[in-house]
Amino acid sequence: MKTIYLDNAATTPILLEVIDVISIEMANVYGNPSSIHHVGRKAKSMVETARINIAKHFNASAQEIVFTAGGSEADNLILRNAVTNLGVTTIILSKIEHHAVLHTMENLKKEFDISVKFVDLDESGNVNYAHLEQLLQESDEKKLVSLMHVNNEIGNILNLKKVSEMSIANNALFHSDAVQGVGHFNIDLKEIPLDFFVASAHKFHGPKGVGFAYIKRGFGIHPILHGGEQERGARAGTENVHSILGMEKALEISCLNMQEESAYIQQLKNYFIEKLKQNFKGIEFNGASASETDSSYTILNVRFPKEYVMLLFNLDLKGIAVSGGSACQSGSNMGSHVLHAILPEKEAIKTSVRFSFSKFNTTEEIDYVIFSLIKLIN
C-alpha cells in the first residue's frame, strides 16, 4: 500500500540532505561543546556557526537565538520569563493559540497574580485588530501580546507587522509562536521588530526535538531548565549538536527555495480546493484556510456536511495520512479547541479534516485522495 502524506502541519519528512548532515556530524562531531579540549571546541564552533547562520535568515544577531528542544519549550521559556523576569502582569492572546501557549498561560495564571485577556476573533478566526487596540489601551499595566503567526489547524496568517506596530505604540511586548511560519514565510526582523518568536525544525523538513527561541537583545532571560550554563545561561543541558546542525541545513534549504516551493504548493492546494468543490455538495472550509491571502499555502481545513465518525480511520486504511485537527491532540476525544472557538456547535460537531501539504506532494496524490473520499462518503 502506498502512503500519501498530507499531515505536514504535524511534522514534515526530513530532507535527505539534512539526514546526511546529521549522520556525518554524529560520527565526526561527538564532543561536548562545553569541554575545553579540541574535540569539545570543534563541537562548540559548529554550534555557534549554526547559530550565526540561522540568525542571518531573520536579520537577527547570533546572541538573540537560544536553542531549545522545540517550539513548546521555547514558548514556555519566553512566557514564563515575561511574567517572572520582565514585569508582565497582563497577557493578551486568542482562544485559538497552540496549547503550548494556552496551557502555559493557564499555569502562570495559577501561580502568579496576572490578568489574561482574550482578543475577539471574527467568524473566520481572524484577530479583531480594533479590539486588540482596545485591550492594549485599557490600562498602564505591563502587557505581553502572544499571537501565533500561522494557526496550526486552520492556517490563518497573522499580520505580524501590524501587531508589532500596535504593541510598540502601546509599550507592550510581542511574542509570536511562529512554528508554522518559519521556513515557509520570510520573517525580517528589521522590517518587523518582534520581541520574541519561536520555531521548531521538524516543521520545515528538519529533525524532531530541536528548535529555537528568538529573544530580542536586551532582555535578560532566566532559565526554566537548571543544571548548567549552556546557551549563555538561558538553558541548561548539553546542546543537541547534530540536530542543531540538521536544523541549520533544513532552514538554509527552505529559505533558498521558498519562493519556488510556495508557488508550487499553493497551486496544489488550489487544485485540491477545486476538486473538492466539484465533487462534494455542502463542503465548507474552516477559518480562512481556502484563502490565498489570509491563510498559509500549506494548510487546508475541510468541513464535511455531516459527521463521518470513521473517516480518518478509513482514509488511513487507504494509505492517506491526515489529521482531524492538531496532531498534538490526536489522542484527545475533546475535539479541536480551535474549531469550537470559531464555529457554532452544530457546525463544530461535523467531521473536519486538516490536509497539510509539502513540496513532496503531487496532483496525482490529490486525485487519489479525491477518488478515495468519493468512495467513502458519497
Question: Percentages helix, strand, coil for the chain, rounded to the nearest 5?
Answer: 40, 15, 45
Q: Where are the alpha helices (DSSP H) in 91-214?
A: 99-111, 129-136, 160-169
Smallest Cα–Cα separation from 65: which of 251, 262, 202? Answer: 251
The one-letter code for the residue type at 103 is H
Calculate the alpha carbon distances from 316 to 25, 151, 245 in Å: 35, 24, 33
Phi/psi of residue 66, each to 5°?
-115, 120
Distance between CA atoms of residues 327 and 179, nearest Å: 14
Distance between CA atoms of residues 18 and 214, nearest Å: 22
Cell 475577539 locates to 120
Distance between CA atoms of residues 378 and 374, nearest Å: 5
- Rounded to the nearest 5 degrees, what angle is found at the Cα of 39, between the Cα atoms of 37 and 44? 90
All residues at 6 or more sequence positions from 56 whose CB lies less than 8 Å from its CB, including other chains:
none
Identify the active-site residue in 328, 341, 349, 370.
328
**Is 255 among the residues known to form the active site?**
no
Cβ count near 228 (within 10 Å): 13
Q: Please name every residue paired with 200 in a beta bridge, in sequence order, or none if there are none.
A: 211
Grid coordinates given for 53: 547562520
Radius of gyration of the chain from its Cα atoms, rounded to whole angstroms: 21
The one-letter code for the residue type at 365 is E
CA dihedral (170, 177, 109, 234) positive or negative: negative
CA dihedral (140, 105, 203, 223) positive or negative: positive
Q: Please name every residue paired with 156 in a beta bridge, in sequence order, or none if there are none.
A: 295
Using an 8 Å Cβ cutoff, are 336 and 325 in contact? yes
Catalytic residues: 328
